[in-house]
Amino acid sequence: MEPDIQVIDADITTLDVDAIVNAANAELAPGGGVCGAIHAAAGPELAKECASLGGCPTGEARITGGYNLPAKWVIHAVGPVWGGGESGEDGLLRNCYVASLGLAQAHDLASIAFPAISTGIYGFPAPRAAEIAVQAAFEDIKTYDTSGKTNTIGRIVFCCFGADSARLHQASLDALRS
C-alpha cells in the first residue's frame, strides 16, 4: 500500500494524525520553534516523559505520548545543526525521517506528520532539507513493498510552517512522482 503523501501549511500541533514529529534537541527538552509549540500544546507531562528518556543522539528519534495534543504520539527527531554540509548533515537529517517512520511502523501507526526538521534555528538550508525529507520518506516507505514487511502508514503529512517551505516540499514531492 502506497501512503497518501501530502504537503500542507499549518500548525502541526492541531493535526489529527496518529503521531506528529517534533524537531527536538538532543536533551529532548522544551525549546523554541516547533519544539516549543509542541511542548506548550502537549502540556507539562510531555517534558516529564522526555526527561525520563535520557536524551537522544542527532539523527535518531524517540517516541512519547501526545498528552493534550490531538495526536496520540510525539516522535522526537534530533536533526543536525548545519555546519556547511561537510559534517554528514545530509545523512543525519535523512536518518531523522527514516528513524521516525521506523518508530511509527513499530507502533502500528497509520498517519504521521513531519515539520521541516533542522530548518529553523539549526540553520539547515530549506531547499536541501525539503529534498532530503521527501526523498527519505518516499524511499523508506517503498522498501516495505520489497522487504515483505507490512507498511502500516497510510498517510504522511509534511506540515510546513509557511508558504515558502510548503512550496519547496511540494516541488520535491512532485519531482519524485514524475
Q: Where are the domains of the chain?
A: 4-177
Low-confidence stretches of the chain (pLDDT beneath 70): 1, 144-149
Cβ within 8 Å of residue 175, ≥6 positions away? none
**pTM score of the predicted model:** 0.95
Fold (CATH) for 4-177: Leucine Aminopeptidase, subunit E; domain 1 (3.40.220)
Q: What is the pLDDT of residue 146?
A: 55
**Helices 33-42 and 44-51, packing angle to 10 deg:** 110
Amino acid at 110: A
Q: What is the pLDDT of residue 88?
A: 97
